[in-house]
Amino acid sequence: MKRITLTCFLAIWALVSMAQSDLLPSKKGGIKMTPIFHATLVLEWNGKTVYVDPYNGADGFKSFSDADIIVITHAHGDHMNLETLKRLNLKKTTVFAPESVVSEISSLPFQEIISIKNGETDTKYGIEIEALPMYNLPEDETSRHKKGWGNGYILTLGGQRLYFSGDTEDIPEMRNLKDIDYAFVCMNLPYTMDIDEAASAVLDFKPKHMYPFHFRGGGGTFADVEKFKEMVMSKNAKIDVRLRDWYKN
């Protein structure tokens, strides 16, 4: 009886775990997108594995292949997390990051470290990596994220364009984005922007599908992503806002 109960539990657990992953249709097979934590996620496509801003410990990556590509947006610890990176197998990994991050990770055993700036584009394993601005407003000495210090990214896999905001506010460069299939946009105060600013920007650049992430703010508070979804979809029902569990741990 105990064995049956354990088997049932494991089956349910596996289904719950699988439900956390979304399969995004693309050329050369689907893109499997799995939320890990906060702004961290894994993409699996065409035999390659991409980690975005690996954070919250290496245990979150145990069920995945070692990363072929890692992209890091900026040097804050919930995006460039040295404790997590040091416990990953990086021997076959190419990392793309702004210079502010490269200077911090140069001693780690990556196969290749590529410094990429706002406006630059590179390609690896058929995946295009485009670096974009991410910054706070106003642009002054009080900014937690200064323009050029970090990167947002558009990754193009199998013809699908996936935008990752990094830590940004409602900047013109985000509003002017075109042809985004999947957008991952931050919304947490006081570090980035509130849900009103985020919703306004998303309604402007009109991604086909949109994932709120990075929505835990100061003091452990959480942005109201349910309200955010209502704000966006009540004004443009064609934007598919997808709520997922980014804080299951």
Q: Which CATH number do you get for residue 110?
A: 3.60.15.10
- For residue 127, what pLDDT is reported? 98
Query: Domain for residue 13, yes or no?
Result: no
pLDDT at 1 over 90: no
Query: Domain for residue 14, yes or no?
Result: no
Query: Domain for residue 71, yes or no?
Result: yes
Domain hosting 111: range is 22-241
Q: What would the pLDDT profile of 152-176 be if each residue is shown by its tens digit?
A: 999 999 999 999 999 999 999 999 9
Q: Are 158 and 26 in contact (CB under 8 A)?
A: yes
Enumerate residues 6+ apart whose C-beta is below 8 A from 125: 46, 48, 68, 69
Burial profile 141-159: b = 16 or more Cβ within 10 angstroms, e = fewer: eeeebbbbbbbbbbbbbbe
Query: Domain for residue 42, yes or no?
Result: yes
Q: Rounded to the nearest 10 degrees, how much is the dihedral formed by the CA atoms of 78, 207, 24, 67?
A: -30
Query: Domain for residue 15, yes or no?
Result: no
Query: Domain for residue 149, yes or no?
Result: yes
> DSSP H helical segments within the chain, as ranges?
2-19, 82-86, 99-105, 172-175, 195-205, 225-233
CA distance 78 to 39: 8
Structure tokens given for 203: 């309604």
Q: What would the pLDDT profile of 207-218 be if each residue is shown by its tens digit?
A: 999 999 999 998
pLDDT at 143 over 80: no
- For residue 8, what pLDDT is reported? 45
Provide the number of structural domains found in the chain: 1
Query: Domain for residue 247, yes or no?
Result: no
CA distance 90 to 137: 35
Cα–Cα–Cα angle for 23, 124, 171, rounded to 5 degrees: 70
Query: Domain for residue 185, yes or no?
Result: yes
